């Protein structure tokens, strides 16, 4: 018994240690944030800050250049910052619709791609920190311990549904945030915080060290204000160009007319659509869950989408046969609708009436005109996008707009930005966010939650037609007031092929032949 006691004691200690470690690993990320919230003044105090403004001086630590610095934020997601170093100005802002940047190297521009995604995330972060990470469907993960400025720190990584990672370091003793790392496209920005002082019951840092790539800056704050009155214009796209813009109503009319012409050209094209579903794994990492590839064709104004591959592999014979049956049924439905439509039109003509549009197809392809009808366009400007001249607008819900159809109600709850190709009068990019929940059936059937967003980009194909090249979708849906669903998708398009529509119409009625004819 005496010989086994030490072994039993050692095993017991290991079990206790393992149990404690497992518990800490499972709970510590969330617990660390709770401790940090308490250290900063408590959740109530933090949530009482609906807007803030800071001012001070900024110094380039490499050359000693110094100047003014200021930043401000206003809920839910407005944010701006700027500095002036020996006459060289740099500023950024997000106005709830689009992010922008202005500096001496690249001038004034609307942010796109990863820069836009990362800056929108930062704007939300500057307003709410981590307080709403569960509501935003972000995930936490515990990372390795670190030493920041000679002191031990605990590390938490927050990953958003758009796969933006914010790395936070908290002082192991005080619980205060001492460092955060945020991405900005290809760059990683590091902010070190110190000299915390109480402002309205909230601990605020008054010294900030910033590293952006190889650049190093030191910021000393002279003023930190909570809940100041900040005009919305402070976050808006700066108006510095006197270059005349085209007649906006005429431009939008051309965009709508071109969309109709595009519908006619679509029947001459086929291309693929690859949808990648994304989701969080057990470690809080956003990863690919499922990939499906479809072949898209258009017949009599309707889209026909045929599944051709799963996880990059062709369908089995049975799956392919099932798709053939489904496509046959789809074509029959289209033919039936067209026949009914023609009968109604003929009847109207015989009675001396103009054919109406009340029989508009529910599966009609929605265009940018549907969005613009329900939107107020603001901040028009000229820019360059993918080496082409574009006209960019911000858009927001049009006050007092009375939608006629359900999809118009949806578009009337969106804000974002739209890029229109100046030469072709086609939409090159649209970026939108749901600023208000959209309810279906009064919310009894389903509801799209506020904050859902999407990005769509198009490009000129074969010097003839504009087709989608990429899109991202991130939407949370509640079904029947109970079940919550998340749609997080990256969609890519390709394999654009043009064919003779007259020669292919008959083949399209035979899906097997249509599939064969589309293959190289």
Residue from 403, 395, 397, 399 nearest 420 by CA: 395
Q: Are residues 319 and 438 in the same domain?
A: yes
Q: Are residues 326 and 375 in the same domain?
A: yes
Grade residue 504 by pLDDT with cuts at 50, 70 and 90: very low
Beta bridge partners of 284: none
Q: How many domains does the chain have?
A: 2
Mean pLDDT of 251-263: 80
pLDDT above 90: percentage of residues in the chain: 54
| Phi, psi for residue 360 in degrees, rounded to 5 | -55, 135
The Cα 179–Cα 169 span in angstroms is: 5
Determine the straight-line distance between the first and last CA of the chain, rounded to whole angstroms. 79
Q: Domain boundary residue among 188, 205, 235?
A: 235
239 or 22: whose pLDDT is higher? 239
Q: Domain boundary residue among 208, 235, 262?
A: 235
The Cα 186–Cα 26 span in angstroms is: 32
Q: Are residues 85 and 191 in the same domain?
A: yes
Provide the domain limits for residue 125: 49-235
**How high is the pLDDT of residue 7?**
40
Q: What is the CATH number of the domain that holds 58?
A: 2.50.20.10
**How high is the pLDDT of residue 20?**
39
Q: Are residues 445 and 471 in the same domain?
A: yes
Other beta carbons within 10 angstroms of residue 227's beta carbon come to 13
Please state whether beta strands 202-212 and 215-226 pair in parallel, antiparallel, or not at all (unpaired).
antiparallel
6 domain residue, yes or no: no
Does the pLDDT at position 294 exceed 90? Answer: yes
Q: Read off the pLDDT of residues 198-245 as tens digits, 9 standing for 90 and up.
A: 999 999 999 999 999 889 999 999 999 999 999 999 999 887 666 677
401 or 67: whose pLDDT is higher? 67
- Tell me the torsion sign for CA atoms 153, 159, 163, 164: negative
For the chain, give the mean pLDDT: 84
25 domain residue, yes or no: no
132 domain residue, yes or no: yes
430 domain residue, yes or no: yes
Q: Read off the pLDDT of residues 186-203 as tens digits, 9 standing for 90 and up.
A: 999 999 999 999 999 999
**How high is the pLDDT of residue 241?**
61
Question: Could you write out the three-class secondary structure of 345-392?
Answer: HHHHHHCCCCCCCCCCCCCCCCCHHHHHHCEEEEEEEEEEECCEEEEE
pTM score, two decimals? 0.82
30 domain residue, yes or no: no
Grade residue 8 by pLDDT with cuts at 50, 70 and 90: very low
For 360, the token pair is 């508009």
Mean pLDDT of 146-155: 95
Mean pLDDT of 113-136: 95
Q: Read off the pLDDT of residues 355-397 as tens digits, 9 standing for 90 and up.
A: 555 444 445 556 666 677 778 888 888 899 999 999 998 999 8
Q: Are residues 160 and 276 in the same domain?
A: no
Contacts of 147 (CB under 8 A, 6+ apart): 153
Q: Are residues 231 and 252 in the same domain?
A: no
Grade residue 106 by pLDDT with cuts at 50, 70 and 90: confident
Q: Are residues 220 and 301 in the same domain?
A: no
Q: Are residues 206 and 277 in the same domain?
A: no
The Cα 499–Cα 301 span in angstroms is: 16
Residue from 268, 236, 237, 296 nearest 491 by CA: 296
Q: Are residues 276 and 178 in the same domain?
A: no
Beta bridge partners of 255: none
Other beta carbons within 10 angstroms of residue 421's beta carbon come to 22
Q: Are residues 253 and 338 in the same domain?
A: yes
Range with the lowest mean pLDDT among 4-13, 168-177, 268-277, 312-321? 4-13
C-alpha distances in Å from residue 265, one per residue of 198, 260, 299, 464: 64, 9, 11, 9
Q: Read off the pLDDT of residues 408-466 as tens digits, 9 standing for 90 and up.
A: 777 788 899 999 999 999 999 999 998 888 877 665 566 788 888 999 999 999 888 99
5 domain residue, yes or no: no
9 domain residue, yes or no: no
Q: Are residues 226 and 325 in the same domain?
A: no
Mean pLDDT of 468-496: 83
State the burial class of residue 336 (Cβ atoms within 10 Å of its Cβ: 0-12, 13-18, 19+). Answer: exposed
pLDDT above 70: percentage of residues in the chain: 83
Q: Are residues 299 and 162 in the same domain?
A: no
Q: Domain boundary residue among 235, 270, 292?
A: 235
37 domain residue, yes or no: no
């Amino acid at each position: 018994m005496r010989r086994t006691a030490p072994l039993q004691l050692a095993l017991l200690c290991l079990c206790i240690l393992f149990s404690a470690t497992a518990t800490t690993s499972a709970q510590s990320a969330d617990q660390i944030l709770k401790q940090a919230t308490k250290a900063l003044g408590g959740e109530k105090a933090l949530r009482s800050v609906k807007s803030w403004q800071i001012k001070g001086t900024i110094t380039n630590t490499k050359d000693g250049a110094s100047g003014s610095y200021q930043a401000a934020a206003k809920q839910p997601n407005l944010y701006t910052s700027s500095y002036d170093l020996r006459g060289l100005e740099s500023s950024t802002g997000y106005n709830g619709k689009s992010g922008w940047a202005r500096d001496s190297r690249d001038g004034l521009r609307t942010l796109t791609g990863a820069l836009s995604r990362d800056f929108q995330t930062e704007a939300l972060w500057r307003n709410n920190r981590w307080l709403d990470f569960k509501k935003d469907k972000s995930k936490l993960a515990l990372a390795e311990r670190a030493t920041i400025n000679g002191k031990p720190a605990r590390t938490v990584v927050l990953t958003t549904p758009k796969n933006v990672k914010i790395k936070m370091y908290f002082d192991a003793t005080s619980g205060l945030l001492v460092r955060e790392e945020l991405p900005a496209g290809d760059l990683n920005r590091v902010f070190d915080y110190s000299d915390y002082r109480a402002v309205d019951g909230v601990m605020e840092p008054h010294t900030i060290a910033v590293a952006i790539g190889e650049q190093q800056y030191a910021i000393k704050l002279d003023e930190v204000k909570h809940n100041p009155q900040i005009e919305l214009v402070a976050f808006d796209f700066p108006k510095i160009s006197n270059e005349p813009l085209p007649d906006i109503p005429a431009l939008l009319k051309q965009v709508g007319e071109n969309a109709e012409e595009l519908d006619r050209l679509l029947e001459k094209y086929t291309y693929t659509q690859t949808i990648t579903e994304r989701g969080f794994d057990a470690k809080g990492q956003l990863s690919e869950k499922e990939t499906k590839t479809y072949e898209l064709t258009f017949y009599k104004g309707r889209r026909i989408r045929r599944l051709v591959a799963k996880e990059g592999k062709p369908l089995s014979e049975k799956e392919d046969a099932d798709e053939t049956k489904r496509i046959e049924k789809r074509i029959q439905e289209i033919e039936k609708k067209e026949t009914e439509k023609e009968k109604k039109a003929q009847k109207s003509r015989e009675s001396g009436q103009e054919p109406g549009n009340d029989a508009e197809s529910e599966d009609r392809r929605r265009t940018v005109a549907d969005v613009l009808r329900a939107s107020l366009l603001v901040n028009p400007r000229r820019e360059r996008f993918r080496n082409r001249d574009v006209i960019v607008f911000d858009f927001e819900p049009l006050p007092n707009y009375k939608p006629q159809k359900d999809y118009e109600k949806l578009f009337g709850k969106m804000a974002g930005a739209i890029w229109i190709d100046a030469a072709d009068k086609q939409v090159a990019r649209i970026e939108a966010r749901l600023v208000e929940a959209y309810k279906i059936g009064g919310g009894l059937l389903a509801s799209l939650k506020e904050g859902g967003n999407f990005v769509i980009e198009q490009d000129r194909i074969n010097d003839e037609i504009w087709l989608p090249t990429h899109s991202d979708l991130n939407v949370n849906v509640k079904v029947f007031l109970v079940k919550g669903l998340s749609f997080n998708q990256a969609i890519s398009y390709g394999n654009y092929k043009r064919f003779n529509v007259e020669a292919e119409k008959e083949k399209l009625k035979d899906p097997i032949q249509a599939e064969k004819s589309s293959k190289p």
